[in-house]
Structure 1
């Protein structure tokens, strides 16, 4: 795997990207005073509550609370992961994304942006070759007849770029590999095999070809299905390559995102043909894992793209096992507002066969009756237990609690604990004592209050130039006032980089435990007049400084009464007393 993207490159990328131009090109912005506005792209609204600040390089929606910098916007709007968003912004500026060498990686070759572009281009050429063969190969009539027999129209075949890998041993190789480097690239991308040196043959032969596209629509791999007989495995998938990692990709996700402005739900099925057959019937929100179980990374991708995921599997043991693996991997991503549902099909049926029998309306009725994940979870955990006995109840509790702890939603966690309590004859309060960090206890905490420290941090975050208006006194951190270390850290950062903006500061803290609080403070509306901002900030800092001095004074007073003070401490006590009297 490639090394990390250097922090300096990310900082430079944000400095060179104007968030106004970026968002204006996506949704259109209208200038209102100092800032820009639009209807929020992340929720439905009639009047604009989405604001973008050029000074802060930060966006905030007062309706749904969405906020962030240019990277955050691309991640949310395009439904991309962090690295993909960086590459997207870099491509807009015609920049190559560098990678750091990590320990033990120094000898591993790094894949350059030029190499990646060449790889994506070759995969597209291969896809075009297979599509051409579908129409012009001597077997094309039989292949097209097969597609029609499966109920697929030319429009759907074109949408999913379905093609045909010819029967010849080296049809693709002859077409695309004319030089030694091209032959090596075909082998590297697993489009060709070379069992003996210099003797190359096509990896896919006599198969219906399904191009697999990444989140940006680039062809990165293929799935090949046999047309008839026992000519190898039913499905043959591309092995992993430098541009394809099957545990991270979902077949049909790009097409689903293209079909809808906002994906309200996504259905996970098992096969390529299921996805295509459902699309043919007008159900265009199906995706499939690529010959592997639904992974944690898949679930993270799905819940970034939508709030509702429906897993649709066969009703046999294999289907139930696949559902269980999907549920386990989904638990850490079930935040408030996210829904995970399960549908199990009748014996002998799969989505492809069933949707052709029933049609769209009846099939979607099944989805409306899908089981919530909580039902599936407890049914599976109780499957081989006798929960009428104490032993069975104890076992169920031991199995369920670790899984409930993984759920980040306070609502879901409380609901799961209530159901578990009913099943084992306990109260939710008793279970609260068993679980680590129960969400319902956290939810009882007071709302995010604007204390003087948070006000100071928020103002500094939104107006980094304020760092110069107060003295820099890092020794205050030793007094252990909550939040003071973060405040002084921010001040040092702003003093060192006098042109830094809110969006850049937030990016530096993306992986920090302080990121969520800082994001909230970045969107805080302080209602302080610009002309009074500096004075207000100074007074707030003076209040904090007095708090620190009082805290130190109390510490010295206690020590004087219990242990006594030395000469230096008595002098410090005297100076502190005078300073606080004069303040």
Structure 2
């Protein structure tokens, strides 16, 4: 990411009131300490978009959009990072010219990565065309790919020999550091004997961004016995697996008007369908579809057709996709589901039955209503009162996520028909009383484990209230505790004490490029359930608890040591002091 110095960024954020920026774009209403309005990132009738004056953050409880003023300019006004900084610097009359060269250097490194992946792509293509690896070409032909298709998708091969790693290093020796950043080689070093090629013995599929630039690779094992069968490049400055889709650029570049997108699961699915002249196909990169990807698809089409295997795994994947999609379903947008026969995927099926019969299968797609009620009704006895109540409790929170009023009304009426409530007014009353299950905290903690541990409480409270750092007299004893989250907390405390006037937005921005940024972002918006008037006391109590945990750990270590080797006089004195300290009921932390 292009960056200017943290000092400049902190200064710009401190001078900017996020309310002033956002309120110029759309209406905000004062509500308690915060401002609320309709979310600009998805259609909704009831306002769920909140802007905090104190923390200088915005977040939407419905779709999960969030960030500081820089994020808003990037996501709403479609500025890139440096353009957002320049916008704020012009507004406040602060020059950032001295930082431009550093930004250009970062941009230059991204350009180098683009060039490197193109060179690697050519290398993999040349390997596939060698006679030595003709068996790979034959394998692709057995999968239904002809020479034209192979060339069209720039498919290559990474051979199994370890010498292959040496060849790449020699050919691209001037880009050794970039090879590390791409994650092409696994291991700490790039010397000949510690190098291991991520994609060895795999068919290589170049992954393009929506503009057609190669940004990464996907590798499919040549042997079905090798696991994992599919492997992707590591995330880099130019590639984020959760923000890209395979084959999407071909639809975006080649077709001006896209009536629908057929969402499938694999590289071969995309390639085979397109080879059979079925356009508008894209695939996720081996993971569950993300909200970012859903939003990307709905920017280029109003209709998504999800094509999954008919087994249980396929239905679970479809259910996850539906839940991600609900907050984006305006009345103009559609989503459908198709389930193929067990053991089949689009690639194998179309080669068996041909294009015409495959298109007929697509015509039997299920709309959201059929899929939703079919799945939820499977294990519920709707002949009983408890069954009807259970169905209502399951489906009402999902309906409430949907911004499309007509679609929401239709699904409510469907529910009413099934549970025997035909009065629309009563159904709406039920909906209004239903809590929204798409709580932002649930969304952003999906892939990172956040719980009420003492470490998370301390980090979360400090991120949301940076002034609490003054309550930590010293971090020396904390540094003896071997815990990753505590190391994060120590770093936060030191940052807050160095920059004493930081608000939450500035504090989080300080860590934007750090490897624990995502966890800090989550804890900044985490609902810790602590009432405002007891936040300070809760923070102190957590510090005391952590202090006692460290003392107990040290106590156990000394006791165990005494059983093996007698303690020195100094160590016995230390153990006595710890025993005394733990026997006292602390009112304040004594570091």
1:432 equivalent to 2:425? Answer no
Q: Distance in 2 between matches of 1:282 and 1:172?
A: 37
1:248 equivalent to 2:243? Answer yes
Query: What's the CA shift for 1:317?
Result: 0.2
1:145 equivalent to 2:138? Answer yes
1:214 equivalent to 2:221? Answer no
Pair 1:304–1:330, CA change in 2 (3 A): same
Query: What's the CA shift for 1:347?
Result: 1.5
CA RMSD after TM alignment = 3.2
SS in structure 2 of the partner of residue 262 of structure 1: coil
Gaps of 5+ in 1: 9-80, 102-108, 439-583
What is the aligned counterpart of 2:346 among 339, 346, 351?
351
SS in structure 1 of the partner of residue 228 of structure 2: coil
- What residue in structure 2 maps to residue 367 of structure 1? 362
SS in structure 2 of the partner of residue 340 of structure 1: strand
Q: Structure with the greater relative contact order (CA < 8 A, sep ≥ 6): 1 or 2?
A: 2
Q: How many pairs are equivalent?
A: 354
1:174 equivalent to 2:170? Answer no
2:149–2:275 CA contact under 8 A, matched in 1? yes
What is the aligned counterpart of 1:117 among 96, 106, 111?
111
2:207–2:214 CA contact under 8 A, matched in 1? yes
Query: What's the CA shift for 1:117?
Result: 0.8
SS in structure 1 of the partner of residue 283 of structure 2: strand
SS in structure 2 of the partner of residue 434 of structure 1: helix
- What residue in structure 1 maps to residue 219 of structure 2? 224
The CA deviation string for residues 163-193 of structure 1, in whole angstroms up to 9 with x for no partner, is 1112222425533556776222112111112
Pair 1:96–1:152, CA change in 2 (3 A): farther
1:266–1:286 CA contact under 8 A, matched in 2? yes
Query: What's the CA shift for 1:116?
Result: 0.8
Q: Distance in 2 between matches of 1:174 and 1:335?
A: 52
Pair 1:229–1:323, CA change in 2 (3 A): closer
1:341–1:370 CA contact under 8 A, matched in 2? yes
Q: Distance in 2 between matches of 1:255 and 1:170?
A: 34
- What residue in structure 1 maps to residue 261 of structure 2? 266
Matches within 5 A, 1:515-526: none
SS in structure 2 of the partner of residue 138 of structure 1: helix
Q: Distance in 1 between matches of 2:166 and 2:84?
A: 30
Query: What's the CA shift for 1:158?
Result: 1.8
What is the aligned counterpart of 1:159 among 147, 152, 163?
152
SS in structure 2 of the partner of residue 112 of structure 1: helix
Pair 1:339–1:229, CA change in 2 (3 A): closer
1:250–1:288 CA contact under 8 A, matched in 2? yes
- What residue in structure 1 maps to residue 518 of structure 2? none
Larger Rg: 1
TM-score w.r.t. length of structure 1: 0.56
